[in-house]
Amino acid sequence: MFGKLYNTLVFVLLFCHDLCDCQKKKETLLSEKVTQMMDWTSKRSVIRMNGEKFRRFVKAHPRNYSVFIMFTALQPQRQCGVCRQADEEFHVLANSWHYSSAFTNRIFFASVDFDEGSDVFQMLNMNSAPTFLHFPSKGKPRRSDTYELQVKGFSAEQLARWVADRTDVQEKTRHAPLLHPPDHSPAPGQGPEPQEEECLHAKEDFVLEGGPDMGFLGAAFPMDPSPGIHHFVNRVIVTPNISP
Ligand SMILES: *[C@@H]1O[C@H](CO)[C@@H](O)[C@H](O)[C@H]1NC(C)=O
């Protein structure tokens, strides 16, 4: 009788220990990931990701933050003029979020360039850029986690509305001021119509069959080798009435 009870007790204790251990490891991993994401985002409001970073910080669990990603193709040889404009707008949005009082560690902005993360494009069965996708903190991306670029254009304001709709920080995000750069390119619809040919279209080398049908979000970066801080600073300086 006592032996049986003892065995049960030992079993329960061991089981608990493993469970707690696993829980602790998960918690540590999560905390490391959040710290890393915060570190990156403090250096540039749009985190640049390659395949490895994408798998670890966006695809893999545990994760308790949302990531909005712009998939893009900024290398000149890709000839994606639209990517450049979308990149600018996405940075306006991400910078605004970064300096807004609503900023939290539950929403991050990132980008994957085709020339740095073609494996991600393959994984997602993605064949055009720019594309914007939301990866929610919980569950799989739904249809509405793919930004309707063709319908809504890619102005920072429209993107902000979409971000608000896909997260629970709606009001705050909506009211966050958008910081615009001085040489702001024409808003979509006002500028020249994006030409089909300008976009990156399916090419044999990066279309895979049967990938998971996930939503996408696109992002891009300045071409200059040390993008980031000065970029943000410029934007803040030209809008002195908006406190970062
Ligand atoms: C996510 O989890 C980490 C680690 O526990 C924590 O530091 C962070 O504040 C959490 N983020 C949110 C938005 O709850």
Q: With CA atoms as reference, report the closest residue to 73 among 225, 209, 202.
A: 202
Q: Is the CB of 31 under 6 A from ligand 1?
A: yes
Expressed in angstroms, the distance from the first to the final Cα of the chain is: 69
The pLDDT value given to residue 206: 30
Specify whether the CB–CB gap between 67 and 216 falls below 8 A: no
Residue 180 CA, ligand 1 centroid: distance in Å: 31
Distance 168 CA to ligand 1 centre (A): 16
- Which whole-number Å values give the CA distances from 197 to 24, 126, 175, 200, 202, in the listed order? 51, 17, 36, 7, 11
Q: Which residue out of 24, 25, 27, 34 has the highest number of ligand 1 atoms within 8 Å of its CB and is therefore the one to mutate?
A: 34
Mapped onto helix, strand or coil, the DSSP state of residue 178 is: coil
In this predicted structure, which of 67-76, 132-141, 204-213 has the lowest mean pLDDT?
A: 204-213
- Asked if residue 27 has its Cβ within 6 Å of ligand 1, the reply is yes
Confidence band for 203, pLDDT divided at 50, 70 and 90: very low
**pLDDT tens track for 99-139:** 888 889 999 999 999 999 999 999 999 988 999 999 999 88
Specify the residue with its C-alpha closest to ligand 1, atom 6.
Answer: 31
Provide CB contacts within 8 A for 131, sequence distance 6+.
Answer: 70, 71, 72, 146, 147, 149, 216, 217, 218
| 83, two tokens | 């990517």
**pTM, entire model:** 0.69
